[in-house]
Structure 1
Amino acid sequence: METRLNKTAAMLLMCGAAAAQAQTSVTLYGIVDAAVVGESGGSAGHVAKVTSGAASASRIGFRGTEDLGNGLAAIFTLETGTRIDTGEVDAAGAIFNRQAFVGLKGRFGTVAIGRQFTPYHTTLVNVVDPFGTSYAGRAGNLFPDSGTNVRTSNTITYAMPRSRGIDAELAYSAGEQADSSAGRQFGGAIGYTAGPLAVRLAYNSKNSDVAASAGTAAIDRSQGRNLLLGASYQLGRIRLHAGYGVDKGDNSAPLANAGNPYGGVKPTASTDGRELLLGFSAPAGPGNLMFSAMHKDDRTGFDQDAGAWGVAYLVPLSKRTGVYGAYGHVRNRNGAGYTVGNNTESGSGSTGYNLGLRHTF
């Protein structure tokens, strides 16, 4: 009798362990992307190199979820960027520099805390830019898609579940300085999807003040703000993309290459500007063709406008592997300093091309 009870207890323990294991999952995922990149038009002359992440930043990530019951789940993501050309981590002094957050997901939506993408950036990626902010033709050549406009640390986010085609997200990033307003950033986005149409409006507000510390005076700057309206529409086999951005205030539109890529008088980042993008993506032959044209209207006294265009072609070799080619060009006016970059680099000149291979797992 005792032996039977012991066997029954053991079986129940095994079933319980199996059930617990079934309710928890951890996924290892990543992207391996390497390309030959060429750049020209800057003071560095023609630059040719092998680089990592021209289409998508190479990365290794862990994504997990645990079922807590009653429709509630715990989630987490830990994602680090890697450089395929050298084998190094792509951000010195950081391990999970791309994303690192934990949260809860339920019928109410999703709440997460940690290092995360901004609603402004996700709007560019998912709606506005046919390149998804990748390749030489990316929107970030003229739109302010760099630094903390892309992702922020110390961030709390909330995303509501889509209802009747409407969804929204909010984000707040603490500056964690003696003055609680210094360095903080917040934003949000609201979108509507119905059939072939997707429309999204994003807002970003950034405080670039630096609080006073021992022996150092406070630095006060104007509030930087970004407003971005984007739309995409599936017209037959072609997906049309459009975006309009408004930037006001200090550090609202930092130059992707903050150095002096063209020599001479250093360009000044716009504190009052507008951006317009029109583009499309469509199947063509064995692959997918992407194109966009952009204009930057600098409304400051410097009048440093720019125009840009880009084209890319991606050919899938399998569900996970593809080869790509891309070309981008920027025309600067009145000493503007915009460069042709790619998904992981800001670029060094007015023209750039990418020839690469990408594998996902």
Structure 2
Amino acid sequence: MKKSLIALAVLAASGTAMAQSYVTLYGVLDIGFGKVKDGKWGLNNGEGYSAGQDGFNSTSVIGFRGSEDLGGGLKANFNLQSGGLDLSTGATSVAFSREAWVGLEGAGWGAIQLGRSSSIGAKVLGAYDFNGTSYSSAYDRAGISAVTWYGSSRRSNQVQYASPNLGGVVVRAGFTPKGDEGGVQGVGVPGTAKNRYSLGATFANGPLSVSAIAETKQAEGLRTAYAVGASYDLQVVKLAATYNRRESEGVDGYNTFTSTGGQFSGGKGWTLAAVAPFGAANVGVQYARNTDADIKALELFANYALSKRTRLYVDFVKGYDQNAVIAVPGGRTAAASNPYAVGLGVVHTF
């Protein structure tokens, strides 16, 4: 009898510890066929987008995240996320280059993250890209996506804060000391880098969502970038619009149908989007116009949910009048004429 009571006590204590702390293995797996204009069809290696490492709709990733209850409403959180997962060959490089942070969270004051994590722009304005930041994103193809400011949707060496939800308002702020800017994301070296600040806020109440964000320049030759966005859900269709000024001065835009397209982008402009649900499916259209570079991009997409974790997708994007350039260190390269890209595949999350 005593042995049974001891065993039950041990199990109860173990259960309490498990409830207070957890670690989760998670991932996103995307594989499908895609191609760009004048290219060839490929299985996660279609010409014109990241060979092997990306699906057309999502980036294949694997990660670990967890939380520990420290008592008094305080928690310790972490996230380690690795990209570079090639589903076409099975090859991978385990480097936690997408998310690598530890933080603290309190019920009354919000959450702090320290390390490398998604940018404030990605967290705040990403919600207005209804197809996610996929390869077919019209926003990014036109060079006016807040998600990819300064060449990346991630920020290294950053202290990031998120407030609790206060009547529908969530405020986010980020800070990177200039001493930590050493060629990060291709720009900024210790001699020219600046302290970088970002601030964003979202108000969401019922069908309405409104957001704004700004991020200061991280080196000379760049500028403060800012964006605003709003969406409204009519149930039968959800609508969104954004306005964006990107970070490079004197750069008319860029062509992201090449691997070097995402660096040192510039311009400003607006976007419109609509997505409609049809049972387990949704169908959407998104349009973006970079008014500085006279770049226009149209995106069509459809998704069909086979389950809560698995869906099929078809994505198409076409650029119009792309008189833009690829702005990279050492010069610029002319963009392709009226390029397009198409992809279809399957995404599974776990």
TM-score normalized with structure 1 length? 0.79
- Residues 114, 148 of structure 1: alpha-carbon distance in 2 compared, 3 angstrom cutoff: farther
Work out the CA distance in 1 between the residues paired with 2:251 and 2:118.
16
CA distances 1:245-296 after superposition (whole Å, capped 9, x unpaired): 02354499974649698xxxx9x9665x212100111113651001111100
- Residues 191, 26 of structure 1: alpha-carbon distance in 2 compared, 3 angstrom cutoff: same
- Residues 136, 223 of structure 1: alpha-carbon distance in 2 compared, 3 angstrom cutoff: closer
TM-score normalized with structure 2 length? 0.81
Matched, 1:77 2:88: no
Deviation for aligned residue 1:204: 1.4
- Residues 68, 348 of structure 1: alpha-carbon distance in 2 compared, 3 angstrom cutoff: farther
Work out the CA distance in 2 between the residues paired with 1:182 and 1:244.
27
Q: Which residue of 2 aligns with 1:354?
A: 343
Work out the CA distance in 2 between the residues paired with 1:134 and 1:318.
20
- Residues 58, 259 of structure 1: alpha-carbon distance in 2 compared, 3 angstrom cutoff: closer
Number of aligned residue pairs: 320
Bigger Cα Rg = 1
Q: Which residue of 2 aligns with 1:47?
A: 40
Q: Contact 1:121/1:149 (CA < 8 Å) preserved in 2?
A: no
CA distances 1:1-46 after superposition (whole Å, capped 9, x unpaired): xx95x88666545533332122111111111110101101xxxx32
Q: Secondary structure at the match of 1:206?
A: coil
The one-letter amino acid paired with 2:71 is: G
Q: State the superposition RMSD in angstroms.
A: 3.1
- What percentage of residue pairs aligned between the two structures are identical? 28
Q: Contact 2:163/2:171 (CA < 8 Å) preserved in 1?
A: yes
Work out the CA distance in 2 between the residues paired with 1:246 and 1:226.
6
- Residues 179, 278 of structure 1: alpha-carbon distance in 2 compared, 3 angstrom cutoff: same
Q: Which residue of 2 aligns with 1:275?
A: 269
Q: Contact 2:210/2:231 (CA < 8 Å) preserved in 1?
A: yes
Work out the CA distance in 2 between the residues paired with 1:248 and 1:34.
32
Give ranges in structure 1 of 5+ residues lacking alignment.
209-220, 299-303, 339-346
Deviating beyond 6 angstroms after TM superposition, the runs of 4 or more aligned structure 1 residues are: 6-10, 251-254, 258-261
Give ranges in structure 2 of 5+ residues lacking alignment.
45-53, 183-188, 328-335
Deviation for aligned residue 1:116: 0.6
Q: Give the alignment of 1:165-204 within 5 angstroms.
A: 165-175=168-178, 176=180, 179=190, 182=193, 184-204=195-215
Q: Give the alignment of 1:195-274 within 5 angstroms.
A: 195-208=206-219, 221-250=220-249, 255=254, 257=256, 271=266, 273-274=267-268
Q: Which residue of 2 aligns with 1:123?
A: 124
CA distances 1:54-75 after superposition (whole Å, capped 9, x unpaired): 1121111111011111111111
